[in-house]
């Protein structure tokens, strides 16, 4: 890892604020899950905040960002309202996706956050598709696609990297190597453990960043985006990090030792970055506490917002199955069983 | 009207839509330099350039996925998969992504992609290259499914598919590409989805034919009239989602009998679905159980003698129809 100077004070504080918000949001989401407010699976990004914030900070607002089923943090970093992210976890109408997607499927079109995706490796072709649109329309928008180390073993990894290189698409593929594909450690799931090299055979050069360091992640991602945008050369960036919690909330974590978790926790990106800002005089201890308090208050408000948001109406069950037009007049017109029971879209 | 082959009608539809909308582009294996495995896209690369007629590597899931991604962000891709058999490699992008994206993200995005591909048996290509999968795609909410059986329908439905904002599975048939038919000249000619075609009018029985089987059903109906005095009404639904169930129920209300003919497997097939719908909504009109003629419940064999009895021909349609008239035949013999 390069020894980077701090960015301007305002930017440094902004990054710390963003990472703190993600941490407190994820902790609260875990609590709400334990209380039964959140259903399904819940994959938390605690420990991975620097990878998220550093990468998103390198993007322009018009660039496309796409991620995985672990993507509350990406939505928050991209600027989605915390209340709407929490409301999505609660399955409420004010959720980012109106309660249709849940934890694994966040999406915020306005902010060009193009989704969390539940299928490992499923988002790489989509990212190449965004790159194709940018290329086709002659814009200089770029795409950042994050996926886990496990996804590098999927067919779509090789297929998408090959096509992106072949067609010179402006896409940065970022593998967030958090050391485990669910509960299977890197050396037990990938013959090539130096993941940044996995794109070489497809014509995609690799770069590496310290995913526990927000500045390094930002600097490397920014350079990778420049190469993709200006040289029309896709890049594979490996961000090495660690998730402090299990794969999901339902993970007993039998596959790793407490010592290992403890060793990594000494590199907690929130602590190390905050300590450095204090040490270099950018931040006082009081300000640091204030940032934390503000994040907690934001998350409190997000939970209150989600609690207050209504449950979706049963009559909305068939909304948005199709784009309606003269030829598709409602869900039931696509499958004609009992129109009276399945109005849905016509009512809304 | 102009007479042209089914493949030429498809080519014309693609050319007209490429001309009409600069965001329409084509992508698939061997569609450019080679002109398409079945020559549907012949000449289009020369006319529209490599940026819009894109040859791809053999990566079905990713080709469809790139199409989905580009459709989410403003383009209108028409992806050709060489045959429907290979679409199995792209099921994740078709079902988990194209079909569900809009719903999953609360209506924030639409996916106006067309996935074109031919299906069908009869060319001795064995189990992996002879599939008919309209039932598989019919199963999935979020997809529209078209199964054109004539040159005019191929053109009119493909233009509608490209203009529609939903993902469309557009199923052509390998045995139809060389068939000729009359096609309207009007460049604005389109056929709406969800509108069945009555291929032959009749009063005694309704025969519904899916994809190529609409033609098999029509030929069987002529024989039924000539040899058995049975006047069959032949319906080609043309699209399975949306489905023109009204036209089917109206016909069954008139004929009181129904046979469904498809090339795919019987279990969970299109016929099974239609028979259930007719049973639920037209039970009082039926004088006999709904009959089904399907491909056999086995993988498709290579040997010609076996292959030819493994998917429906006129004779099976005639036998299934006559079976619904058991009483009348006994009466006429008596």
d(CA B253, CA B205): 10
Whether A91 and chain B come into contact, CB under 8 Å, resolves to no
* pLDDT for res A332: 65
Nearest to A132 among B66, B193, B281 (CB): B66
Kindly report the number of other CB atoms within 10 A of residue A83's CB atom: 22
Contacts of A157 in chain B (CB under 8 A): none
Active site residues of B: 60, 129
* pLDDT for res A244: 86
Whether A325 and chain B come into contact, CB under 8 Å, resolves to yes
* pLDDT for res B169: 98
Nearest to A133 among B70, B166, B243 (CB): B70
Find, among A86, A137, A84, A87, the residue nearest to A108 by Cα: A84
Is residue A137 classed exposed, middle or buried when 0-12, 13-18 and 19+ CB atoms within 10 A define those classes? middle
- The residues in A 125-144 lying below 8 A from B, measured between CB atoms, are 125-134, 136-137
User: For A11-47, what is each residue's pLDDT tens digit?
Assistant: 999 999 999 999 999 999 999 999 999 999 999 999 9
Contacts of A165 in chain B (CB under 8 A): none
Q: What is the mean pLDDT of each run of 10 residues along chain A (348 residues)?
A: 85 98 97 95 94 98 97 97 98 98 96 96 98 98 97 97 98 94 89 96 97 98 98 97 84 86 90 96 96 98 98 90 84 56 41
Counting one residue from A and one from B, how many pairs have CB atoms under 8 Å apart? 172
Task: For B280, list phi and psi in degrees, rounded to 5.
Answer: -70, -40
Nearest to B62 among A95, A114, A156 (CB): A156
> Which of A125, A154, A168 is the best substitution to test chain B (most B C-beta atoms within 10 A)?
A125
Shortest distance between the Cα of B326 and any Cα of chain A, in A, equals 30
Q: CA of A94: which chain B residue's CA is closest? A: B106
- pLDDT in single tens digits along all 334 residues of chain B: 999 999 999 999 999 999 999 999 999 999 999 999 999 999 999 999 999 999 999 999 999 999 999 999 999 999 999 999 999 999 999 999 999 999 999 999 999 999 999 999 999 999 999 999 999 999 999 999 999 999 999 999 999 999 999 999 999 999 999 999 999 989 899 999 999 999 999 999 999 999 999 999 999 999 999 999 999 999 999 999 999 999 999 999 999 999 999 999 999 999 999 999 999 899 999 999 999 999 999 999 999 999 999 999 999 999 999 999 985 554 444 3
Q: Tell me the DSSP string of A95-125.
A: STTTTSS-TT---BGGGTB----SSTTTHHH
d(CA A177, CA A195): 8
Contacts of A118 in chain B (CB under 8 A): 96
Give the Å distances, CA to CA, from A44 to A53, B148, B175, B202.
Answer: 15, 48, 52, 64
Whether A98 and chain B come into contact, CB under 8 Å, resolves to yes
d(CA B50, CA B27): 10
* pLDDT for res B330: 44
d(CA A27, CA A48): 13
Contacts of A163 in chain B (CB under 8 A): 56-57, 59, 62-63, 66
- Full-model pTM: 0.95
d(CA B191, CA B194): 9
ipTM of the complex: 0.94
Nearest to A136 among B25, B110, B141 (CB): B25
Q: CA of A110: which chain B residue's CA is closest? A: B108
* pLDDT for res A79: 97
* pLDDT for res A1: 47
For chain B, where are the E strands, in sequence order? 2-5, 24-28, 53-55, 76-80, 114-119, 144-146, 168-173, 180-183, 197-200, 205-209, 232-236, 239-241, 258-261, 291-293
- Yes or no: say if A83 and A25 are a contact pair by the CB < 8 Å rule: no
Shortest distance between the Cα of A101 and any Cα of chain B, in A, equals 5
């Amino acid at each position: 890892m390069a020894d980077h100077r701090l960015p301007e004070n305002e930017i440094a504080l902004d990054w710390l604020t963003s990472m703190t918000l993600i941490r407190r949001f994820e902790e609260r989401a875990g609590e709400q899950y334990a209380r039964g407010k959140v259903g399904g699976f819940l994959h938390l990004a605690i420990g991975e905040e620097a990878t998220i914030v550093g990468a998103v900070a390198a993007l322009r607002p018009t660039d496309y960002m796409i991620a995985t089923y672990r993507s509350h943090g990406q939505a928050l970093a991209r600027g989605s309202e915390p209340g709407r992210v929490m409301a999505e976890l609660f399955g409420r109408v004010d959720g980012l996706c109106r309660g249709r997607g849940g934890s694994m499927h966040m999406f915020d079109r306005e902010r060009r956050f193009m989704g969390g995706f539940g299928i490992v490796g499923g988002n790489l072709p989509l990212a190449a598709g965004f790159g194709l649109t940018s290329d086709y329309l002659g814009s200089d928008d770029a795409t950042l696609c994050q996926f886990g180390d496990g996804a590098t073993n999927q067919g779509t990894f090789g297929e998408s990297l090959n096509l992106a290189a072949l067609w010179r698409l402006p896409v940065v593929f970022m593998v967030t190597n958090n050391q485990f594909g669910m509960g299977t450690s890197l050396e037990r799931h990938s013959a090539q453990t130096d993941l940044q090299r996995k794109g070489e055979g497809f014509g995609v050069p690799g770069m590496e960043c310290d995913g526990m360091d927000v500045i390094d992640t930002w600097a490397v991602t920014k350079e990778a985006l420049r190469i993709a945008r200006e040289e029309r050369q896709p890049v594979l960036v490996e961000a090495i990090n660690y998730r402090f919690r299990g794969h999901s909330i339902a993970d007993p974590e039998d596959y790793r030792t407490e010592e290992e978790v403890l060793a990594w926790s000494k590199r907690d990106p929130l602590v190390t970055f905050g300590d450095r800002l204090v040490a270099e005089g950018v931040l006082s201890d009081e300000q640091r506490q204030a940032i934390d308090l503000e994040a907690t208050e934001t998350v409190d408000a997000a939970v209150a917002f989600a609690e207050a948001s209504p449950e979706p109406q049963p009559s909305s069950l068939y909304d948005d199955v199709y784009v309606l037009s003269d030829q598709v007049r409602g869900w039931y017109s696509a499958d004609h069983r009992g129109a009276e029971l399945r109005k849905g879209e016509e009512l809304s | 009207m102009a007479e042209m082959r089914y493949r030429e009608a498809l080519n014309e539809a693609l050319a007209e839509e490429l001309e009409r909308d600069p965001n329409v582009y084509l992508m698939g294996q061997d569609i450019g330099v080679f002109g398409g495995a079945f020559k549907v896209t012949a000449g289009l690369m020369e006319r529209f350039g490599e940026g819009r007629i894109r040859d791809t590597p053999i990566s079905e899931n990713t080709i469809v996925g790139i199409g989905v991604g580009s459709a989410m962000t403003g383009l209108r891709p028409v992806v050709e998969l060489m045959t429907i058999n290979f679409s199995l490699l792209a099921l994740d992008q078709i079902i988990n992504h194209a079909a569900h994206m809009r719903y999953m993200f609360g209506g924030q995005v639409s996916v106006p992609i067309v996935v074109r591909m031919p299906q069908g048996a009869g060319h001795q290509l064995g189990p992996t290259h002879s599939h008919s999968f309209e039932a598989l795609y019919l199963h999935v909410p979020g997809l529209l499914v078209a199964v054109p059986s004539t040159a005019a329908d191929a053109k009119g439905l493909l233009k509608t598919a490209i203009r529609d904002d939903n993902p469309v599975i557009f199923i052509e048939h390998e045995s139809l590409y060389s068939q000729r038919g009359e096609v309207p000249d009007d460049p604005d000619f389109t056929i709406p989805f969800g509108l069945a075609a009555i291929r032959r009018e009749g009063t005694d029985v309704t025969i519904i034919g899916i994809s190529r089987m609409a033609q098999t059903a029509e030929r069987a109906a002529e024989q039924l009239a000539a040899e058995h005095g049975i006047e069959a009404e032949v319906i080609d639904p043309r699209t399975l989602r949306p489905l023109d169930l009204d036209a089917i129920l109206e016909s069954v209300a008139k004929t009181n009998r129904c046979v469904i003919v498809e090339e795919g497997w019987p279990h969970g097939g299109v016929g099974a679905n239609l028979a259930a719908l007719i049973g639920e909504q037209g039970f009082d009109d039926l004088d006999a159980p709904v009959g089904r003629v399907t491909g056999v419940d086995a993988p498709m064999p290579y040997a010609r003698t076996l292959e030819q009895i493994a998917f429906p021909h006129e004779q099976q349609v005639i036998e299934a129809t006559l079976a619904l008239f058991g009483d009348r035949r006994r009466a006429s013999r008596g």
